[in-house]
Structure 1
Amino acid sequence: MKKIFFKINSRMLSLAVLLTFLSNISIAQNQSLSLQKAIEQAKTNNRDLRIDSLNISRSRQQTEITKGFLLPNVSLTGQFQRYFQRPVFFGLNSAPSSEGIAYSRFGGQEITGAQVTLMQSLYNSGAKYEIQRRKLLEKQSRLSYQEREVNVVAQVKQNYLQLLVLRERLRLQNESILRNKKALADSRSLLAQGRALRVDTLRAYTLVRNLEPDVLRLTYALQISQQQLSILIGSDAETQYILSDSLQFNPADSIPTENGTLRTSILRRPDFQTLSLNKEINDKQIDLYKSARLPVVSFVSQYQLVTQTNNFRFDKAGWPPVFYAGIQVAVPLFSGMQNVNKIALGKIERQQSDMIYQNAQEQLKTEVKQVVAGLYEASQRIKTQQNVSETAELSYSITKYRYEKGVASRLELMDAEFALTTAKSNYLEAVFDYLSAKIEIDRTMGRVDEEL
């Protein structure tokens, strides 16, 4: 009896542990997600942003490497040489007119030495311009990160909006199927009573079956969009999110003007700041090429210990020190016209940067005009579709009442239901287009607002 009781308790305990584990998995896989939280997670965990963040660190490190050109360079070198025949010296005790030059061998068989050398740049204009150029490149990498952040936030907002719209479309489709299934059941009942035609039942059945594939299509689209959102915010693709925000349209929203949007875009967009920065980088590159014509002045100093001995008797050898300090000047005289050609190349690249910036401005004007026009058109369409949706809902209610009283036909009710579903879908599409246009305007102006 005790064994049976023990087995029952063990099974209950195992079942409790299993239920707890499954509940934890369910909580982990189904998470509530607001738009603000999704954007915050994307800023922290998005893989593209993390890559660009590493590019900033790499640019900063390259700047530090370049600064080393202006810092002192200290090196310690040592050498050991074993001569099997001692070094030769010519010209000892030889007559000036003698054809043969006498020589002799001096020195030890082993030569050992060590030197400590210090070099400090005193004047190097090329290093100065290279450091300035590297700082500009570092700033450019930060702007590239900001541009990526703007695009990622826009993608998260667009994906979040798409999920809300798909969820709403799926709800409307299910409501339409329920209404049509009820109509099919009524039609079958009336057909059994001999009060309706068979063609009405067949039409209702066909309509229901035609609506069911759309539910499957929307379900798959919802799953794919949710997986894309998981990738954007850098989370597990298997995690299922419950969206806490809702699809809202604020009629009080103002539509920005083209001129104001254009000015803000030029000032705030990171890619335009990058294009403007490219011109400064080209100028520093030209200065760097020109500096190759200038001399380089360095301070050089060395402390040296050297000795010679035979049979490795270093304990008997002397270690005389040698110390010197001086100035070294390197003046470039001719480099095969490389500097002239590099300067000409830098000027061409500078002209290209100017043309690219001007071309981007012209393209931005068209882009701004398009997004502002799209926002205005969608706002006007929302007002129209909202009125049409309310009218279609009233028409369906009236037609349904007349059908229940036997005044309206089954075909009229089906047409009213189709008009109602179409009107609601069109209104939903207009809201989606309006909010998408708002997201596009934020992206165009380089904003990262955490709201739709």
Structure 2
Amino acid sequence: MKKIILNKNNRIKLLGLLLVLSPVFAWSQKQTLSLDQAIETAKSHNRELRIDSMGIGKSVQQTAITRGLLLPNINLTGQYQHYFQKPVFFGLNGNSSSSERIDYARFGGEDLAGAQVSLVQPIYNSGAKQEIQRRRLLEKQSVLTFRQKEIDVVAQVKQNYVRQLVLSERLKLQNESILRNRKALADSRYLLAQGRGLRVDTLRAYTLVKNLEPDVLRLTYALQISQQQLRNLLGDVSETEYVLADSLELSPADSIPSESGTYRLSVQQRPDLQILTLNKEISDKEIELYKSARRPVVNFVSQYQLQTQTNQFRFGNAAYPPVFFAGVQFAIPIFSGNQHVNRIALGKIERQQADLIYNNAQENLKTEVKQILASLIETSERIKTQRGVSQTAELSYSITKYRYEKGVSTRLELTDAELALTTAKANYLESVFDYLSAKIELDRVTGSGI
């Protein structure tokens, strides 16, 4: 009876644990994902891209704010004052120089009120026009920054996707190798028990199996980390496990472009180089902006005013005489402590700096293009070699296995053939990964990754 009660309590605890963990199990679900789907999801939901897209909106608003410098400025103001002692006016005794005393009197009402509507319309402001043009260039720059970030994110998604495919193949290859070596270990133990095998063969087979098991753990954790990185790139906050729908594919017909053509294409299409070109234009606009600060500013001004005075808050019986005027106001800068001169000199230095940065980026691009194309050539040749080596190793393992089963080859020869087969396939996968990575990098460098 006591055992029945204990079993019932265990079942209740197990049921409660399942109820608690069921949301977790339901949340961690699998989802099939192709490379194109991953790229589109990243474009829509990647957090870094969303931040940069907001930067575009900020630049547009900054341009709109600056454009307001050329629009009219209309203000409505009003005031009310109560005098406990009426305002004082001096000079009522005239301009007599014999009197040392200047008489005064108090006039007006105790309560004063007024309202004004003022208008200021810029007529000539060279600085405002230069600033608007500069802001438009900054707006283009924010769009190019977003495009560059989009290219980088797409390249990261492709790289992560290919890495997971290669890791899955490596894990599969490693498990196959462990299965073969475990079978060899079981055969060695059987022969040792029958007295027809050596203990050293069993120890060697056991060592090989144990040496392979840590690689499985390493590859498994690498896959989990890559899955987490992919979720971050896609803007996924859940624990979804993505099942990759695509497979490793090589296109033998793909030709490697020329170095000069790749360089020209990169200069034309890369957003970061276009940003550096815009930096030079922005520096020119800043110099013009500093120069415009030395030019006059002309505004049209106008004001309509109503004012009144009364006593004891009798505003209903008070008079409201209007005052209206219109005119032109101008300001001519004469001396500002050499600030304008120094700012112009600063702008010229920044313009020279922008030229040097652009030229340096071009030289670095030449080196980068040469390195990527060299990697493509090297990895494509390595793939051809490793493909042949893998086929040879597989044939060698089959022959050695057949000879071993017939009692012609030794266990050591079969072990060496199995190790050579695993190494050849792993090297082939590594070559494929390096080649696809170089192609992804080529798309990123040329600005055609999206």
TM (normalized to structure 1)? 0.93
Give SS of 1:249's match.
coil
Q: Is the 8 A contact 1:227 1:237 kept in 2?
A: no
Report the Cα distance in structure 2 between the residues aligned to 1:26 and 1:444, rounded to whole angstroms: 41
Q: CA deviation at 1:256?
A: 1.4
Determine whether 1:381 maps to 2:350. no
Number of residues of Structure 1 aligned to a counterpart in Structure 2: 432
Determine whether 1:151 maps to 2:179. no
Report the Cα distance in structure 2 between the residues aligned to 1:91 and 1:191, rounded to whole angstroms: 131
Report the Cα distance in structure 2 between the residues aligned to 1:55 and 1:287, rounded to whole angstroms: 25
Q: Is the 8 A contact 2:27 2:240 kept in 1?
A: no
Q: Provide, for residues 220-270 of structure 1, a one-character-per-residue CA deviation record: whole Å limited to 9, x for no partner.
A: 111011111000011135110000000111211111111111111111111
Determine whether 1:52 maps to 2:71. no
| Residue matched to 1:242 | 243
Determine whether 1:74 maps to 2:74. yes
Moved more, 438-447 or 89-98: 89-98
Give SS of 2:118's match.
strand
Report the Cα distance in structure 2 between the residues aligned to 1:140 and 1:263, rounded to whole angstroms: 21
Q: CA deviation at 1:180?
A: 0.7
Report the Cα distance in structure 2 between the residues aligned to 1:367 and 1:95, rounded to whole angstroms: 88
Report the Cα distance in structure 1 between the residues aligned to 2:289 and 2:253, rounded to whole angstroms: 55
- Give, as a single letter, the amino acid of the residue that structure 1 aligns with 2:106: R
| Residue matched to 2:96 | 96
Give SS of 1:111's match.
strand
Determine whether 1:391 maps to 2:411. no
Moved >3 Å (runs of 4+): 21-28
Give SS of 2:248's match.
coil
Q: Is the 8 A contact 2:27 2:239 kept in 1?
A: no
- Give, as a single letter, the amino acid of the residue that structure 2 aligns with 1:54: M
Q: How do 1:21-420 and structure 2 match up within 5 A?
A: 29-100=29-100, 101-420=102-421
Q: CA deviation at 1:89?
A: 2.0
Report the Cα distance in structure 1 between the residues aligned to 2:97 and 2:159, rounded to whole angstroms: 97
- Give, as a single letter, the amino acid of the residue that structure 2 aligns with 1:317: A
Report the Cα distance in structure 2 between the residues aligned to 1:399 and 1:189, rounded to whole angstroms: 20
Give me the identity figure in percent: 70
- Give, as a single letter, the amino acid of the residue that structure 2 aligns with 1:51: I
Report the Cα distance in structure 1 between the residues aligned to 2:166 and 2:27, rounded to whole angstroms: 25
Q: 1:438 to 1:307 in 2, by over 3 A?
A: same
Moved more, 97-106 or 379-388: 97-106
- Give, as a single letter, the amino acid of the residue that structure 2 aligns with 1:278: N
| Residue matched to 1:438 | 439
Q: Provide, for residues 359-416 of structure 1, a one-character-per-residue CA deviation record: whole Å limited to 9, x for no partner.
A: 1111111111111101110000000000000000000000000001100000000000
Gaps of 5+ in 2: 1-14
- Give, as a single letter, the amino acid of the residue that structure 1 aligns with 2:358: Y
Q: Is the 8 A contact 1:87 1:106 kept in 2?
A: yes
Report the Cα distance in structure 2 between the residues aligned to 1:24 and 1:366, rounded to whole angstroms: 50
Report the Cα distance in structure 1 between the residues aligned to 2:110 and 2:22, rounded to whole angstroms: 83
Q: Provide, for residues 35-72 of structure 1, a one-character-per-residue CA deviation record: whole Å limited to 9, x for no partner.
A: 00001010011000000011110111111111111111
Q: CA deviation at 1:112?
A: 0.7
Report the Cα distance in structure 1 between the residues aligned to 2:123 and 2:437, rounded to whole angstroms: 58
Report the Cα distance in structure 1 between the residues aligned to 2:440 and 2:315, rounded to whole angstroms: 80
- Give, as a single letter, the amino acid of the residue that structure 1 aligns with 2:188: S
Q: CA deviation at 1:110?
A: 1.4
Report the Cα distance in structure 2 between the residues aligned to 1:112 and 1:24, rounded to whole angstroms: 70
Q: Provide, for residues 193-217 of structure 1, a one-character-per-residue CA deviation record: whole Å limited to 9, x for no partner.
A: 2222111111111111111111111
Q: Is the 8 A contact 2:28 2:239 kept in 1?
A: no
Q: CA deviation at 1:185?
A: 1.4
- Give, as a single letter, the amino acid of the residue that structure 1 aligns with 2:174: Q
Give SS of 1:322's match.
strand
Q: CA deviation at 1:285?
A: 0.5
Give SS of 2:256's match.
coil
Q: CA deviation at 1:99?
A: 3.6
Q: 1:77 to 1:380 in 2, by over 3 A?
A: same
Q: 1:56 to 1:95 in 2, by over 3 A?
A: closer
Q: Is the 8 A contact 1:111 1:309 kept in 2?
A: yes
- Give, as a single letter, the amino acid of the residue that structure 2 aligns with 1:414: T
- Give, as a single letter, the amino acid of the residue that structure 1 aligns with 2:130: Y
Give SS of 2:317's match.
coil
Q: 1:427 to 1:321 in 2, by over 3 A?
A: same
Report the Cα distance in structure 1 between the residues aligned to 2:312 and 2:144, rounded to whole angstroms: 67
Report the Cα distance in structure 2 between the residues aligned to 1:26 and 1:424, rounded to whole angstroms: 37
Moved more, 222-231 or 83-92: 83-92
Give SS of 1:108's match.
coil
